Structure formats: C-alpha cells, structure tokens
Amino acid sequence: MNFTSKLVSPKRHKMGGMKELLFLALPIIASQSCETVMVFTDRVFLSKLSSEQMNAATGGGISSFLLLTFFMGLIGFSTALIAQFYGAKKYEQCSVTLVQSGIISFVAYPLIILALPLLYWYFEVTHISAGQIEYQKIYVQILVFGSIISLIRHSLSCYFSGIGRTKVVMIAAIVTMLINIGFNYIFIFGHWGFPAMGIRGAAYGTILSALCGVAIMVYFFFEEKNAKAFKVFQAFRFHAKTITTLLRYGTPAGTEFFVNFIAFSFLVFLFHSYNEHTATAASIMFNWDMVTFVPLIGIEIGITSMVGRYVGAKKLHVAERATYTAVRLGWFFSAFVVLMFVFIPHVLVDVFKPQQYDTVFEQARPLAIRMLQLASLYVLAEAILVSFVGALRGAGDTVWTMWVSMAIHWTFVPVTYLSLFVFNIGPVWAWTVLVFMFLLFCIVFYFRFKTGKWKTIQVIDHGTEG
C-alpha cells in the first residue's frame, strides 16, 4: 500500500484510526491552544503599551524557554516511555517514570538559574535596541526563577498524556489560561489596586497561573482511582533502571530540542537585528505561526502516545496505521490555516496594532502580511513532519531524529545570515528561502519512517519489572 492509499483509507473505526486519535489528540490540542492563548494574550496586551515591550516578550520568552529546552525534551520522552509501559500493562512503572521525571526537574533547576548570565550576555551581542534589552532582562529573570514550576507541570502533563488521560491535561490548561489572562490584565495595566507593571506583570501572571495548573494535576494524580491503579504511593523512590532508560532515550530528544531551539532563537534574533520594523514584522509572523501550529503539537503528542502504546503492546501494524491517520488529521487542520494566511493576513496582522499610532508598526505591517502569506506554503508540510517525528519518538527512534533534525535546523541559520547580511536580499526573500528548505525537511522524515527501522527498537523490558 503506497503513501496516498494509506492516507485515504476509510477504515477509521479500527485500532489506530481517527476516532482513537481524536480521543487522545483533541484534549491535547485544546490544552496546547490554551498555552498559546496565554502567550498570545501577553503579546497583545503588551503591544498596546509599545512595540518594544511586545518584541521584548517575544525575544525574552524564547530565550528563557531556551534554558529549559534540553530538560523539557528529556522529560518529554517520558510520554513515550509511560505509553509503552501502559501498553505492556506495567502500570506501576508509569508512576515510577513520573517520579524520575520529577527528580530530573529538581536537579535541572539550579543549573538553569546558573545559566541566566549567559542570556544577558547574548542580548548584548545581538545588537537589538537598548530599550528592548532592558525589558527582556526583566522578563527573563522572573520566568527563569519560576522555571521549576514549568518543569514539574511538564512532567505531570507527560504522565497523563502517556496513560491516555489527556482530558486532565486539558482541564489544567483551561484553568491555567483563564487565571493567566486575568492576572496579566490586572498586573500589566494595573487594576484592583495593583500598580501597572507592564512586562514584569506579564511574567508574574505566567508563573502564578502555571502553579495553579500544577495543583490541579497533582490532585488528579493522587485521586483514589489513579493512586490505586498505578500504585502511586509506592512509586516515590529512585528507580535506577527507569531513570537510565529515560536518560538514554530522552537525552537525544532533549539535545535535539535544545540545539534546534538555539537555531530557532538565532533565526528570530537575526530578523530582530536587521532593523526595528523587520523585528516587529517577524514577531507578528512568529506569534501567528505559533498559534496555528498548536493543533499539530496536539497531534504530535497524541501520535507519540499512541505509537508508544502499540509498540509496548507489540502491535506494530497498528502503530503504523495510526501514523497515517495523524497525517490526515493534520492536513485537515492545516487547510484552515492556509485559507487564513492567504486570504486574511491583514486582519491577523492588525490584531497587534497599538492603540496609539506607531510608526514602526505601520512600516512593519506590509512586511508581516507578506511573511504570513509565504508561511502558508509550508503549513501542510508541517502536518507530515509532526506525524512522522511523533511516531519515531514514540517508538524510541530518538538518536537518528536528533542528528538529522539538528543538521537541518542549523543549515537554516547560516542561510538566513547570508541572505540578510551578505547577499542583502531582504527579509521577504530570506523568509522565502527558509520556507522552501522546510519543505525538504519533511520528506527526509517520511523516508525514515518508511524504512521501518523504528520497528526494531526495544525501549522497555517486556519481562518482569522490579
């Protein structure tokens, strides 16, 4: 059966079909949408104060997350590991894996704080405006000191995604989003007796709302039904074999996430350092790209969990079927994005229009519109990418994924630098080159999945587990 016939297969009621994927993915899509709404709302609120604060939140948010990416990627593999244990009916190991993720989080926290001065240095050498740098330092410092909350929240989300209880993740995300929007409105603009804190208030709102999300998932983790089924209270111990497995397969995933995110950060700062109106246009484009990528993140996490579960249950044919189901679902969501980017980019850009006339925004507006229209070329390809990457990670094929993904991402950086600062072809053509390079990226991962080498990887021991 070829690629096309697998995509149009009508047998969606079977294991690995559309109904099962939607059951897993839709709550994750909803929860990821909530995460994006929080970030997006921050940017919109701050854009009403100044383009400088909006740009600082974009650059600062990317930079602070950069310090977490290795550990987020490492911990993120626990979704696949927990799913494989769940598929193999080793339920206690699911809780044990979460505890090991928590141990990694607490070890990571001081290392993240120690790396904060590197970000300050990085801001100084990227030639962004002095005003933006000052705002970014404030924003980054608060987020980094609250990063332990983000790591624990991520660990809990991976646990519930791995066992298929994605509705818990969704509930926590919705509550977090609502609290975040309320806090940020109060703290940024100054309401209910609080002073107007601007970008500092945005950071405080993010941390406090994330803490509420942690509390909700902790409640569901210790809930009687979950505690009994997964032997939660017996799981609080260091488990050398499980943490070794998590480190072995999670380290490549974490390295890939970290190194690729550095490359992405360089891309953003290259556009930001070109000139101020290009920085604003790039911020608008990347913010909308983040919003529209949300459903695909949900699909990627969902297919990682499904493939992990069926690999753990030794049903490889079902895992393969589920992957092609993910491509179909991704294309469905992406079609709407294409229509928005092509036909109403001006409406999307004007969401970020400041309340007062802003010369920088008016100069950036036509550039941002053009960049969004170009982005429509790769959104369908993104559906292919997340489906096959998620499937490969779910099966444990993290080393190959790491090397290829890093190699491709790091070709983007010199190409962008040469386009902007050596050949001087301008931001539109530089972005065009990146878009077409991304299309090639997806083809590589499809052929890796097609080889079937992921079917030979054994992540967990199917014997007795101590």
DSSP per-residue string spanning 49-93 = T-HHHHHHHHHHHHHHHHHHHHHHHHHHTHHHHHHHHHHTT-HHH
DSSP 17: S
- Report pLDDT for 438: 82
Alpha-carbon gap, residue 166 to 295, rounded angstroms: 14
DSSP 223: S
| Cα dihedral 118/122/124/125 (nearest 10) | 130
Alpha-carbon gap, residue 1 to 5, rounded angstroms: 6
Residue 239's nearest CA partner among 4, 465, 3 is 465
Location of structure tokens 């854009």: 47
DSSP 460: S
C-alpha distances out from residue 107 to 58, 71, 112, 254, Å: 27, 10, 9, 15
Alpha-carbon gap, residue 365 to 313, rounded angstroms: 52
Phi-psi region of 452 (alpha: psi -120 to 50; beta: other; left: phi over 0): left
Residue 261's nearest CA partner among 295, 286, 294, 292 is 286
Task: Evaluate whether 300 touches 153 at the Cβ level (below 8 Å).
Answer: no
Task: Evaluate whether 326 touches 302 at the Cβ level (below 8 Å).
Answer: yes
Alpha-carbon gap, residue 460 to 242, rounded angstroms: 9
Location of structure tokens 């290829």: 404
**Binned average pLDDT, 10 residues per bin, the chain of 466 residues:** 46 70 83 81 81 81 87 92 90 94 96 91 78 86 93 95 90 93 87 82 90 96 94 92 93 90 83 85 84 82 88 88 90 88 91 79 90 85 87 90 90 91 90 85 89 87 56
Helices and strands, number each (H, E), in the chain = 19, 0
Task: Evaluate whether 402 touches 252 at the Cβ level (below 8 Å).
Answer: yes
Phi, psi of 8, rounded to the nearest 5 degrees? -95, 5
- Report pLDDT for 463: 59
Alpha-carbon gap, residue 93 to 159, rounded angstroms: 11
CA angle 342, 343, 345 (to 5 degrees): 75
Location of structure tokens 């380290």: 251
- Residue 426, classified by CB atoms within 10 Å of its CB into exposed (0-12), middle (13-18) or buried (19+), is middle
- Report pLDDT for 8: 41
DSSP, residue by residue, 298-327: HHHHHHHHHHHHHHHTT-HHHHHHHHHHHH
Residue 327's nearest CA partner among 384, 255, 378 is 384
DSSP 455: G
Q: Which tokens is 330 given?
A: 């991704």
Report the amino acid identity of residue 325: T
Task: Evaluate whether 63 touches 240 at the Cβ level (below 8 Å).
Answer: no
- Report pLDDT for 2: 54
Report the amino acid identity of residue 360: V
Location of structure tokens 């974490």: 254
Task: Evaluate whether 307 touches 319 at the Cβ level (below 8 Å).
Answer: yes
Alpha-carbon gap, residue 356 to 265, rounded angstroms: 29
Task: Evaluate whether 364 touches 54 at the Cβ level (below 8 Å).
Answer: no
Residue 405's nearest CA partner among 432, 438, 374, 370 is 438
Task: Evaluate whether 310 touches 87 at the Cβ level (below 8 Å).
Answer: yes
Helices (H), 77-165: 78-87, 91-114, 116-125, 130-145, 147-162
Q: Count CB atoms within 10 A of the CB of residue 351.
A: 14
Contacts of 42 (CB under 8 A, 6+ apart): 57, 61, 184, 188, 202, 205, 206
Alpha-carbon gap, residue 49 to 244, rounded angstroms: 48
Q: Which tokens is 250 given?
A: 């999670």
Contacts of 233 (CB under 8 A, 6+ apart): 227
